[in-house]
Amino acid sequence: MQAEMIQTLFTRPEGGFLCARWGRPVAPVIFGLADDSLDIFRAAIRAGYAHAGHPVTDADPESGANLMIFFARDWDDLARLPDLDRLTGMPDLPARLRADGADQYRLFRFDEAGAIRACLIFLSMDGPLAEAHPAALAERLMMQSALTFATEIAPSADLAALIRAAYDPVLPAAATDASHALRLAARIAA
């Protein structure tokens, strides 16, 4: 994976670069799934973060859960969630997502060092995601929560190597300078 491609993965539409990883153990919770699917998603999250060398825990001491994944039948279903506006800080999020034709949305919160402190993922299962294989979707969600990707990603060995490189303890937990892509590319190549 070349530095130019890595830079593209973390460059926002407005032009800013942000590559951030988790600064604390990941404490996942998943809402809206049947028990038989829940195990697939839990296993994928644990395996993905183990591969990155980052811990997963049952509870975050500050917030209980810090990786929250919400599966909804449609955006109207999500609108019935109590205190959604307070949780996201975004009034009328389901209406906005419906208007945009989105099938998923990710929201990150950061700590004072710029590292990921929390990640909220919302999925509407009334569109193309309804046809996704649970294991493939679980792997994709894990990867999307591991780093602040600015573009859509599809799981691959290259992305797994990039995530592992980004979790190298020598690197900063967050970088806003695009030259960080060069450091990541060098670690992948090594």
pLDDT in tens, 39-65: 999 999 999 999 999 999 999 988 899
pLDDT band at 6 (very low <50, low <70, confident <90, very high): very high
Contacts of 64 (CB under 8 A, 6+ apart): 27, 29
Q: How far is CA 176 from the centre of its chain?
A: 18
Structural contact between residues 56 and 50, judged by C-beta atoms closer than 8 angstroms: yes
On whether both 1 and 60 belong to a single domain, the answer is no
Q: Do 171 and 130 belong to one domain?
A: no
Residue 127 C-alpha from the chain's centroid? 20
pLDDT at position 129 is: 86
Judgement on whether residues 99 and 170 belong to the same structural domain of the protein: no
Same structural domain, 50 and 133: yes
Are residue 50 and residue 140 in the same domain, yes or no?
Answer: yes
CA quadruple 11, 68, 62, 10: dihedral, nearest 10: -10
Domain co-membership, 11 together with 71:
no
For residues 131 and 161, the model is more confident at: 161
- Asked whether residue 26 falls in the same domain as residue 10, the answer is no
What confidence score (pLDDT) does residue 126 get?
Answer: 87
Which pLDDT belongs to residue 8? 97
Range of the domain at 47: 22-146
Q: Is the pLDDT of residue 35 over 90?
A: no
Residue 131 pLDDT:
87
Indicate if 56 and 108 belong to the same structural domain.
yes
Question: Same domain for 41 and 77?
Answer: yes
Domain count, the chain: 2
In this predicted structure, what is the pLDDT of residue 130?
Answer: 84
Instruction: Kindly state whether residues 142 and 61 are assigned to the same domain.
Output: yes
Stretch 117-146: mean pLDDT: 93
Do 14 and 70 belong to one domain? no
Q: Is the pLDDT of residue 67 over 90?
A: yes
CA 34 vs. chain centroid, Å, equals 21
Six-digit token string for 122: 């919302």
Q: Is the pLDDT of residue 128 over 90?
A: no
